[in-house]
Amino acid sequence: MAASIQRPQVKRLLQVQLAVVALLSALAGIGFGVSGAASAATGGLVAFLPNAFFAWRVFRYQGARYSRAIVNSFYRAEAGKFGLTAALFTLVFIAVPPSNPTFFFGAYVVTLFVHWLGPWLVKRPSHT
């Protein structure tokens, strides 16, 4: 059973990641057409989807009495994120290989780097 304490608001971080994916896709589309935009969008989504899964799974429990459940949910969320990342990379390179790997990996890395902005983007719940 989850505690009634609010989860940290990671919605802004995820929204910024999606905005970065859209911006990179638009820039690649302007410069290199539809194939560049599709490669950038695919790379950004391969980075975004596992992060969204992790955020959804990790903050299920809070409070000292749930310390074991917190650790378990963190490890499960991280394992799921890793598995989803591996599955998405496999799916992309088998089903729809990116026409421009530079944009694919560039968008992937830049989308991951948005986490460096996390301290400014994640809104902590008020405890008052």
Half-sphere exposure of 59 (CA within 13 A, CB side): 16
Q: Give the residue from 49, 51, 35, 47 showing the smallest Cα distance to 96.
A: 35
For residue 103, give both structure tokens. Answer: 């944009």
Residue 127 lies in a domain: no
Establish if 31 belongs to a structural domain.
yes
Domain presence at residue 3: no
Position 85: which residue type?
T
15, 27 Cβ separation under 8 angstroms: no
Using CA atoms, how far apart are residues 16 and 64, in angstroms rounded to an integer? Answer: 31
Domain count, the chain: 1
Annotate 6-40 with b (16+ C-beta within 10 A) or e (fewer): ebeebeebbebbbebbeebbeebbeebeeebbbbb
Task: Tell me the mean pLDDT in the region 36-62.
Answer: 89
DSSP state of 10: -
Structural domain for 54, as ranges: 11-117
Q: How many Å apart are CA 107 and CA 121, to the nearest integer? A: 20
Residue 76: which pLDDT band, with cuts at 50, 70 and 90? very high
pLDDT digits (tens, 9 = 90+) for 22-38: 999 999 999 999 999 99
Q: Provide the 8-state DSSP code for 4.
A: S
Q: What is the mean pLDDT of residues 68-88?
A: 92
Residue 5 lies in a domain: no
Is residue 123 domain-resident? no
What is the reported pTM?
A: 0.81
Q: Is the pLDDT of residue 2 over 60?
A: no
